Amino acid sequence: MTVNLARYRPTGEHVAIRRINLESCTNDMVIYLQSELHVSKLFYHSSIVPYKSIFIADNELWVITPFMAYGSARDLICSHFADGMAELTIAYILLGMLKALEYIHHMGYVHRSVKASHVLISADGQVCMSGLRSIFSLIRHGQRARVVHDFPQHGVKVLPWLSPEVLQQNLQGYDSRSDIYSLGITACELANGHVPFKDMPATQMLLEKLNGTVPCLLDTTTIPPEELSMKPSRSGADSGICEGPVAGSVRHSNGEASSSTGGHPYNRTFSPHFHAFIKRRPSEALPELLRPVSPLTGSESFQPRDSPSGLTGLESGLGHLEVDDWDF
């Protein structure tokens, strides 16, 4: 495949042309391309790269897409942000990714290839997801399946981003939530400048993930102070995984390097909210964020003092309702 920059004469806008030599494609490659092109016709969302035109010319498949002037998020890391981006920059990128994934999941698909190289940014700052070649439909025989058992054909290239349930390949399968795990890995990739687990053999990576090892953001709360005082280097932190936060560290909300504490590339402090986004499950974070509101089971604030409280009060009122037509 080659990619060319071209100008669309009627409007003068720049476009990108993917030219794929069909004669050199295997049958499996052709099937993958057909799946990608089929999905591209179904999807229409501002956070997903649109396919303006598709045609065959001289045994080549030409796919015309808008020109994304900033390239991919991975391109930006390699060229300008080797030690990771600022937190606010990452927040805007993740917002675009979440909008795209929400739409993809609503349409009944699992992306299965969420990573920084599949996040493209236009000249006006629009964030768009690409990489639809590995996408998989949950719709089977007119019904939406609860889980998927298929392993991505080119999954070896995305192993560090894949969730434990995808790697396990067991009878329990996986669903669209596996993309959210990949989103967390991508957030670490954007913040640290490299992918967690990237230097591990595939077997060790699988064991680490199955054992619950959680990637982390590399900053003053996760790197020991003695390492931060060393000369600028990644100090053996290339794996992007760590044990936990370091106590007594100073917090800054912007995620940028602190000029007062030296030149270590990770001498910055991401906000507690960003750390929580990476590591905490909603079931852990939401109860704390909803304070002082308490759940019905533990509060009487929703009921008068002289009436039954919490779920007991709700249950006692059910006897007076007509529920014959309800489908529980």
CATH at 8: 3.30.200.20
| Rg, the chain, Cα only | 24
Q: Give the total number of structural domains in the chain.
A: 2
**Look-up of token digits 């932190």:** 237
pLDDT digits (tens, 9 = 90+) for 258-276: 444 446 889 999 999 999 8
Q: What are phi and psi of 43, to 5 degrees?
A: -90, 135
C-alpha dist (Å) from residue 30 to 22, 33, 54, 57: 8, 5, 14, 16
Structural domain containing residue 25: 2-66
The yes-or-no verdict on residue 322 having pLDDT over 70 is: no
> From CA 278, how far away is CA 91, in angstroms rounded?
12
Distance CA 42, CA 137 (A): 12
pLDDT at 112: 95
pLDDT tens for residues 78-90? 999 999 999 999 9
Residue 242 lies in a domain: yes
Q: With both helix axes pointing from N to C terminus, report the angle between 87-106 and 272-279 in degrees, rounded to the nearest 10.
A: 30
Q: What percent of the chain has pLDDT over 70?
A: 77
Q: Which residues, in sequence order, are CB contacts of 179 under 8 Å at separation 6+?
A: 101, 104, 105, 110, 111, 112, 114
Would 169 be classed as within a structural domain? no
Residue 285 lies in a domain: yes
If you average pLDDT over residues 185-207, what whole number do you get? 93
Note if the pTM is more than 0.85.
no
pLDDT at 257 (0 to 100): 43
How far apart are alpha carbons 127 and 195 in whole angstroms?
20
Mean pLDDT for 224-231 is: 81
What average pLDDT does the chain have? 82
